Each structure stands twice: as structure tokens, then as C-alpha cells.
A and B are shown apart, each in its own frame.
Chain A
Amino acid sequence: MLFNSFSFLIFFPIVVVLYYSIPRRFRVYFLLLASCIFYMAFVPWYILILFFLIGIDFFLGQAIEKRTGHARRVLLVVSVISNLGTLFVFKYLNFFDANIAALAHALHWNYSLPLLSLVVPLGLSFHVFQSLSYVIEVYRGKWKAERNFFVYALYVMFFPQLVAGPIERPQHLLPQFRAEHQWRDENAITGLERMLWGFFKKMVIADNLAPIVDHIFGTVPHNGPVLILGVVLFTYQLYCDFSGYSDIAVGTARVLGFEIMENFNRPFAARSIADFWRRWHISLSSWLRDYLFTPLLWLWRGAGQLGFYASLLVTFTLIGLWHGANWTYVVFGALHGAYMVIGAATQKWRNRFAELIGLVRLPRLRAALQTLTVFALVCFSTLFFRADTIGQAFTMLAHMADHLAQAFSVSFWWREAPGLMGLSARGAKVYLFLLILAIIGMEVLQYFQEKKATLLVWAKWPSWGRISWRYAALAAIVFFGYLGATPFIYFKF
């Protein structure tokens, strides 16, 4: 079930009313049932795969806790293999097979392994990582194994974060299923406002950017300014789509009295790539930091700085691969790994250079330059994220220098550019202007969110201001959004 669908608009209020109406001792089971219904609205039989993984990790968690020494490690490895193995079979097997076949063909080997026609169960990457964090925390002794199968199942399947995260940790989520949640108007208000903000980002900005981005990436016009704009717009589409989903997830959970972790924190305000990853898809980057990067760092501690760089490269390349079975995602991840390595290796030199040219005396200018540089590097990487193939990405790169001077021509942007972006209908210029205005408005609001250190900056506004923004956002969603028009981009991961 999509959040931005009519069925969710019916499903959610019913779940909320029933949740708060039934006795507390039944609420976990009810939420689990609701989560199953939510998940099965996509493809019903996918749930069997989910319960397969839930069953394995539930029993393995208990077994790990009871054992000591080598046996614990073996059981952990079994869990890791089961989870990652399932992910590999559904998500990466065909990719792996196709690449081996290509290599065999190049080397004139006889190789034929049939491709499996398997469709990736929705949200599999997220479930696997969330399950693994539970098993690893139990193994490390930082969390006690869950004794109630239904509570554990709900931990994996809690519907607000079921399909696209945030990837939760057992310490944060599991205790909440045993806590008492009473109806509070304040939770409902802040939760609904958060959902409204998420719907605005997804339905007004992301979904309206999608056809423009699809057209530019589909036709690859030989025009540098339009191609560059296309990449920038996709970067915003990706951010608004995914952070919008996360906002809806957080808001939905809040209405039910739960707190789930934040996944975004104004990533385009980052002043370094490392800072970017502390702000973008926080649950994934922190998961990989805790469960991959840190162990690798420890493993390669003998290699000194090289070990550090290697850990970064491996971690970020795997971040890319996590997103999908395509070399474009690998390049996306590897690019960020390279950015991190180069950033770390050159930090001393960059600071000295900044001193030399007097930039340290102009902190705001320096911050602005850093932010723009990071944004440009991120956009460069999202070109590969969005492109269908590496070849397409390079084709677009090759044409990014075409007619660059037109970027400074008002008449170009007024007359020719809309056509190149697939906007030929009357009112297209007004539409594009409103879209850019919405993006600017979002960035301004987020700027104040960071300044006030609250993700609900409007909570401090007077009531007329709060009501006005609600109706304005609702009007924008109602007039410019389409129910169920496009699924969330991260659903396919």
C-alpha cells in the first residue's frame, strides 16, 4: 500500500481508531495484523519471505543469547548468511550471473546459468538490515533476545517504516512496543503535520519533478544547461521523494504514539561529504558505520591510513550496491567513497589553502563555497544513480558542455528550455516557476528548522500561522498532487 494512495487514506484512520480503542494487551497483535495487511496490499505472497526471515532471526537470536564462544559466532554467521543470502538471491543473483556470463563470453569460456525471473520483495533491503541489527546487537550483548515472536515480528514489520525505512535499532524500537501509548492530541497534531509535510514534499515537489526528469533523461537533449538542470532537479526529486516518505513514516508512527528515528537533516546544507552522509539516509549510513565500516577499520587497523581509506571505499561502494543491482549504483557508491577518501587525504592541504587565500577570515563565504561544492559533487553522483546505464551517464556528461552560454540567456529559458524539458502545454512556464518556488520554500523552511533545532518549526508559530501553513500545504497537495501517481523511488530498494 502506498502512503500516497486512497487506500492508505482509508486504512490509516481505521487503524488509529481501532488501535486506541482496543485493550492495551492486544495492541501489538493488532499492529502486526495491520502491518501484514499493509504489506500484502502490494504482493500478498511476499509476506512469506518476510516471515521466513523473521522466524530465522527470532530463533537464532534466542539461540545466540543462550550460547557462548564459538557457537555464538557460528549462529551469527548463519543469520548473516540467511539474510544476506536471501537478499542476494532476489536482488543480486541475476546481476551477478549476467556479469559472470559477460566475463565468460569475453574469455571464451563455456558458461550458462539460467536467469531466474524473481521479483524483489518490496523493502527487502530494509528488512534484512533491520533484522541483522537486532541479531548483531544480541550477539554483542547489547540487547536481550526477544521472547515474544509477535513483538519481534512487529519490530521487523511495523508498517510506518516497513517498506522503505528508516532502518531502526532494537534498542530504540522494541521497548516502545511494550510501553503504554495513550491518545494525546499533541501527538496526533504533530504527527499529522509531519505527514502533511511529507506528502507536500512527495506529491507536490517530487511527483511533479518526475516527468521533467524522465523527459530529460529519456531524450538526453544536447544542451548543457538543460542537462545540468535535469540532474539538479533529479537530486531534489530523490531527496523530496525519500525524505517525504520518511516524514510520513515518522508522522504516522507519532500519531500512534511511537518515535522512529530521523532519516534526513537538511543534507544539501552539508559542508563536506562526510557531513552529507550524517544528514542523508541517516539510518543507512549509521548502520553501515556501526556494522561494516567500524569492523573493517578494526580488521585493517594494521594498514594505518590505507586501511582507513580502504574501509571507506568498501563501505561506500556497498552503499551504492545496496541501492540496486546495476553498475550505475556501484559507481554512485564508489564516487562517494572516492570523495570521502580524497576529502580525508586533502583536508590539511585544503585548510592551508583556505588560510593562504584569506578564506578563513570570511567564514560565511567559505561555508557557502563548501556547501555549493558538496552539492555539485552530490549531483554528479546522482547522475549515475538515475541513469539507466553507465553509457547513458557518460553520454549526458559528454553533452553537458554544449551551449553552456545559453544558461545566461533569459530568452533561452523562456522560449526553448521548456520544450527541451518536455513542458509544451500552456501554463508550463507558470508550472515550472511554481515548482521552483516550492523547492525554494522548502529549503527556507528547512533552514529555519535547523536554526531552531526543531523539525517542526511551525509548532512555535502563532495559531493563525500554523493553520495557514496547513491549509496552504493541503491546497498545494490537493491541487498539484496525484493520489497513487508514482510509487516512492526507494520502494524498489
Chain B
Amino acid sequence: MWKFLLKFILYIGVPVVLVLAFPLYVYWQAREFTSVHDAITTQAASSSALFGIGYDYASRAYKEAMLAEKPADVVILGSSRVLELHQLFFASSTRLVNAGLGLPDMSRLPALLNDHPAGSEPKVILLGIDPWMFKPGEETVNIPQQVTLGDRLWAFVSGAWRTVYSDYFLFHKFGLGQLAAARSTSSSIGINALINDEGFMADGSELYGRRGELENYVNVVAPQAIEQMRASVASDRADFDFGTSTSAASLRELNIFLATAEARGIHVVGFITPYPHAVFQQLMSVHDSYAQEAVLLPAVLNAFFTHYNFPFFNYMDAASAGIPDSEFLDFQHVTDKGALRILIAMAQGDSTLRAYVSLPNLKSLLAHTPDAFIDPADLK
């Protein structure tokens, strides 16, 4: 039996090792196994380093670690829709942490505040609210993460190694020479960051790739996605972000968060993240309970913020912040130029926030950005 078992192990083991060797090499070259803490440390040492792992998901853990480890004057909380607010938009003396994607649901809000010991909390929190966060039954987004080395190895063995093969041989997404060259010249972490220049910057905001990629988003992806969403909203609003009522549980958590922030002297600026005007118009043209909720929700949220003397801005219709539909990457994410418009509008409306930006500089940046997005080279 033992001789058979030994032969069997060699029979199976040798090919398995040979098969896994290539993807393991790619993982190592791309620094895919880097922990979120090491990533934050690397970015602190090299501000141009991006965190963009390609085969695992650790964004929430990364943002939570950032909140706990990086001191900040201004913190941005929300989903991926707030990721285009960059350090560049704030005064040079302002320390920014963009923790977008670190908020899976409202119940995490109070805990995120607790990550900061008393005295080290931010002065201002910009809270980007997406309507789905208040849609009963759908208030949570729980994407499984691969944070620890064990998680990543398991994900690798379970199937991620196959994706490496298909990415290399089938879809030609990267070359080995290209990867080696990127690794030697950049301290970015992850294959997405090294190959596509896509990932989280040192301030936590997102870089969506190079100029060509952004042009594709803005000129091709976004118009199709917006039209598809507009048509979808026209036919069945149940799949959209709004429900027909507001989640009481989410409102409770928001209230706890605002009360705690007030007690700790943190100024919170709330805003509803924008939809393209075409989509918003479509929703408003249908006079049903979904459209009603789209009107009621901002009013309800405004009352909560006002109660604590915090400002609240409703940018559900992108046009209300002066954002044209051409400044969208898809049907729900604005470009950084769109995000800049939101920040300018909020800073104009809130004196506390205004102290952390330079309005003239922001307006100048806006005026001198001819494209629908800020050139990524300028951001890095």
C-alpha cells in the first residue's frame, strides 16, 4: 500500500506542482500576496504606489485598515461612488483618507468611528449616501474578502490560478516581460496596478487606469450603460436602487452615527451620490411609489442631518451639481471631474468644509480640465 501511495503522490503531485508554478510566479511578480497593512506601509513610503490586486478582493479590509492606521483631517465614507474625490482636491495641509468601499452598510458606520481613539478622529467626514443603503432588504453588500494570506492561498488553489492562465494565454491581458519591467520600476501592488495603472492611490481614492481606458469608459461604456439603466428603470423599477419605503434599521444606524459624531466634535457633511440626469428624469417621469421614495428619502435624510446641525446635499440628479451625463464612467460612478463639481458645490454651501479646500484652486482646476476627467498623469 505504501509503495502505491508514494507512486500515486508523485503521479498526481508532480503535475500539480508544475501546473501551479506559473500562476504562483505571476502572483509573486505582481505582489498579489501583499497584505493590506504592508500595502498601506508601502504607499506611505511611496505616494505614487497603487494598491490594485487583480485576483482577490480585499478592498473593505484595506479601507478599514487605512482608517485605523492613517491619521486624517478629512475622511470620505461611502461606496465606490465616492472614490473619485482625491487628495489633489483638498488643501495641501489637509490630510485626506478616502475610505470609499469601506462601508458595506449603515450598521458599520458607528464602528468606523470607533476605529479612531478619542483625540485622533478626523475633523470632517464626507458621507456619500447611495439610495440602496436605505432600501429595505437590500441594505447590505457583503462581498466575500480574501484578506489574510490563508484566504488568498485558498482562493488561489480553489480557482484563481486558472484565471491567471486564461488571462495570460487566452486574453493576453499581460506579458511576463511587461510584468517584470513594471515590478522593477514601480512599487505598486497587484497586477491591476502594475499592468493597468488601476487601483487605490495612497489617499484611498481610485485611479481607473490610463487615459485611453478613461476615454473608453466615458465615450463607450457610460453612454451604453446609462441608456440601458434608463430603459431598465422605465420597465421595472424594482431592480433599481430605490425601494418603496425607507429602511428603519438603516435610519437607526445613521442616527447613532450622527449623534456619536456630534458628541465627538466631528463635522459630518452628507450627500446623496448622483445618477445621470437621463436616469433620474426617467425615474421621476413614472409616478409610482419608487419615484415617490426617490423624493421622500432625501427629505428624511435631510431631517436627520439638520437635527444635528450637519449640512446635507441632495445630488441625486447629477444636473443639480452641474454634472453632465458625459462626466460619468458608467450609470452610477462619476468621473473625478464630476466629483470635483460635487466638492465645489458642497464647499460653497458649507463653511466648515470650505476651510479644508481652496475654492479658487478647485474652480481653476475645473476650468483647466478640458476633458470629462482629470488626466491620470496629473493625479499621480
Contacts and interface: CB of A to CB of B under 8 A. Distances in A.
A427 B1 contact: no
A188 B159 contact: no
B377 interface: no
Nearest to B165: A479
A20 B4 CA distance: 13
B4 A479 contact: no
B1 A474 contact: no
B171 A426 contact: yes
A478 B171 contact: no
Interface in A1-52: 6, 13, 17, 20
Interface residues of B, number: 16
Contact of B158 (A183, A185, A426, A482): A482
B15 A474 contact: yes
A484 B19 CA distance: 20
Nearest to B19: A478
B55 to A, nearest CB: 15
Nearest to A471: B15
Contacts of B118: none
B143 interface: no
Contacts of A478: 16, 19
Given A17-B1, A183-B1, A185-B4, A482 B15 contact: no
Contact of B5 (A17, A471, A474, A482): A17
A183 B2 CA distance: 10
A101 interface: no
Interface string B13-30: 001100100000000000
Nearest to B12: A474
A446 B8 CA distance: 26
B166 interface: yes
Contacts, number: 29
A474 B19 CA distance: 12
Given A20-B1, A183-B1, A427 B15 contact: no
B162 interface: yes
Contacts of B166: 427
A479 B162 contact: yes
A471 B170 CA distance: 22
Interface residues of A, number: 17
A427 B16 CA distance: 25
A20 B159 CA distance: 33
A181 to B, nearest CB: 12
B158 A483 contact: yes
Interface in B82-99: none
A17 to B, nearest CB: 7
A40 B273 CA distance: 48
A133 B171 CA distance: 55
Given A471-B15, A478-B19, A483-B158, A427 B4 contact: no
Contacts of A479: 162, 165
Contact of A427 (B5, B8, B162, B171): B171
A421 B16 CA distance: 33
Contacts of B1: 17, 20, 183
Interface string B216-241: 00000000000000000000000000
Given A427-B170, A474-B15, A482 B159 contact: yes
A188 B171 contact: no
Contacts of B5: 13, 17
Contacts of A188: 4, 8
Contacts of A20: 1
Interface in A173-195: 183, 185, 188, 192
A7 to B, nearest CB: 12
Contacts of B165: 479
A230 B16 CA distance: 34
A433 to B, nearest CB: 14
Contacts of B170: 426-427
Nearest to A484: B158
Contacts of A427: 166, 170-171
Interface in A153-191: 183, 185, 188
A6 B153 CA distance: 13
B170 to A, nearest CB: 6
Interface in A182-214: 183, 185, 188, 192
| Max chain A C-beta neighbours (<10 A), residue from B1, B8, B12, B166 | B1
B233 to A, nearest CB: 19
Interface string A448-480: 000000000000000000000001001000110
A482 B158 CA distance: 7
A479 B16 CA distance: 11
Nearest to A430: B170
B140 to A, nearest CB: 23
A247 B157 CA distance: 25
Interface string B77-119: 0000000000000000000000000000000000000000000
A479 B166 CA distance: 10
A483 B160 CA distance: 12
Contacts of A13: 5
Contacts of B8: 188, 192
9 contacts: A183-B4, A188-B8, A427-B166, A474-B12, A474-B15, A478-B16, A478-B19, A479-B165, A482-B158
**The 4 residue pairs across chains A and B that have the minimum distance between CB atoms:** A183-B1, A185-B4, A20-B1, A427-B170
Given A426-B171, A482-B158, A482-B159, 17 more contacts: A6-B157, A6-B158, A13-B5, A17-B1, A20-B1, A183-B1, A183-B4, A188-B8, A426-B170, A427-B166, A427-B170, A427-B171, A471-B15, A478-B19, A479-B162, A483-B159, A484-B158
